[in-house]
Structure 1
Amino acid sequence: MTQLSLWSADLTAPVGEDLGGLLAADGRLEEGDDGVRLIIPLADPWRASALVRECRVRDVDAHIETDEHVTELRTDPAPVLAELRERWVDGPDKVMPAGLELSAGLIRCWVIASGRPAPVGYLLGLDPRTPELHQPLAAVCAAMGLAGSILGPRGGGPAVRIVGHRRCSRLAEMVGTPPPEAPAGQFPQPMH
């Protein structure tokens, strides 16, 4: 029997700030006359279904748009997204929020949006449009015991690659139970 960590997403209450994990990945915030919405393209349809639920438990309505090439999650405007915009956006640019700490919910959202196993370790996908955020996000991971190296496009990135038994086990503990939509082996698993 595996004991859950007190830092697990399974044991911490979901908060709107957790959706910053989508911004650590390839998400963006758009402001319109009716408020701020979050949009993120996703590599796999299972990710969109899982993120609709993650948004819902944080009081943000979301839906999936799909064409033959792209699956995209789009939220409705929500006050929590306006708060995220204040922290993650400066003018037209996505920026690293001052004092950002990875919560279990934030890293869970990040893993669902862009995490994937690698031949060695586990990758947390980064936004290719904001390379200036890659190093600061890797530093925040390191501060939470998830030190990793940054991979460029030729290495399967952009992504933070987390390797090692202890770090990968910590990641699995933090993100909690895999969503039911996740294919076997796609979500971080505790290592024994």
Structure 2
Amino acid sequence: MSQMSLFSADTEDPVIDDLAGLLAAQGQSVHTDFGARVSVVVSAQWRADAIAADIAGTGLEAETLTSEEGSPIARTEANPRITALHRRWSSGAVKSMPDGWTPSARALRLWVLAAGRHDGPHYLLGLDYSAPGTHAPLATALMRVGIAPTLIGVRGHAPALRVSGRKRLARLHETVGAAPVGTDARQAWPRT
């Protein structure tokens, strides 16, 4: 029988800063006249639905859409409460991870929802191929929460942080909490 981690996403209330987990993946933020917005294109509708539910948990409005290419999108409303997050994760028009950022359990959960997948005995956390300057700092950020990854695929369109080993996979699983409801979600979710 396993014990719930005191630092699990299941034990934390969602906050706007947790949306940084989407930016750690392929998510984007933009600033509008009404405030900033965070959006992420994902590979499956269950991912968009679960992300939208987590966004709504922060007190923001969320919606799911379909891209012109047919991919699901989850996004926040444009809101001034997101502006500080947008500024921390932007350097001009380029996405950049803030110095010293450490993912909260809920941010890590959103990262898994947006871009987590199995690779044999390993688990991959996808990265934004258009923001290569974030890759090494994000690996360091994961180390700060006790999950030492390996950076892979940096020369292609599928860069990721690979989590390997029983202890690291268990730490990831404990931190992100239970999978969203649904068979597809359980199959893609970190496990020990």
| Coarse TM-score class (shorter-chain normalised) | over 0.9
Q: Does 1:119 align with 2:120?
A: yes
Matches of 2:41 and 2:139, distance apart in 1: 22
Matches of 2:52 and 2:121, distance apart in 1: 30
Whether the aligned pair in 2 keeps the contact of 1:55 and 1:61 (CA below 8 Å) is yes
Name 1:86's counterpart in structure 2: 87
Q: Secondary structure of 2:187's partner? A: coil
Structure 2 unaligned residues grouped into runs of 5+: none
Q: Secondary structure of 1:30's partner? A: strand
Name 1:16's counterpart in structure 2: 16
Whether the aligned pair in 2 keeps the contact of 1:152 and 1:159 (CA below 8 Å) is yes
For 2:171, the aligned partner's letter is: R
Q: Secondary structure of 2:83's partner? A: helix
Structure 1 unaligned residues grouped into runs of 5+: none
Whether the aligned pair in 1 keeps the contact of 2:35 and 2:81 (CA below 8 Å) is no
Q: Once structures 1 and 2 are overlaid, which stretch shifts more, 60-69 or 164-173?
A: 60-69
TM-score computed with the length of structure 1 as normaliser: 0.93
- CA 1:81/1:165 → structure 2, altered by over 3 Å: closer, same or farther? same
Whether the aligned pair in 2 keeps the contact of 1:49 and 1:181 (CA below 8 Å) is no
- For these two proteins, the number of residue pairs brought into alignment is 190
Matches of 2:157 and 2:129, distance apart in 1: 12
Matches of 2:164 and 2:107, distance apart in 1: 20
Matches of 1:149 and 1:27, distance apart in 2: 21
TM-score computed with the length of structure 2 as normaliser: 0.93
- CA 1:153/1:43 → structure 2, altered by over 3 Å: closer, same or farther? farther
RMSD: 1.7
Q: Does 1:180 align with 2:177?
A: no
Q: Between the two proteins, what is the percent identity of the paired residues? A: 39
Matches of 1:112 and 1:55, distance apart in 2: 12
Q: Secondary structure of 1:106's partner? A: helix
Whether the aligned pair in 2 keeps the contact of 1:87 and 1:98 (CA below 8 Å) is no
Q: Does 1:64 align with 2:64?
A: yes
Query: Per-residue deviation at 1:79?
Result: 3.1
Name 2:43's counterpart in structure 1: 43
Matches of 1:155 and 1:178, distance apart in 2: 29
Whether the aligned pair in 2 keeps the contact of 1:50 and 1:181 (CA below 8 Å) is no
Whether the aligned pair in 1 keeps the contact of 2:36 and 2:83 (CA below 8 Å) is yes
Q: Does 1:168 align with 2:163?
A: no
Whether the aligned pair in 2 keeps the contact of 1:46 and 1:182 (CA below 8 Å) is no
Query: Per-residue deviation at 1:75?
Result: 1.6
Q: Secondary structure of 1:18's partner? A: helix
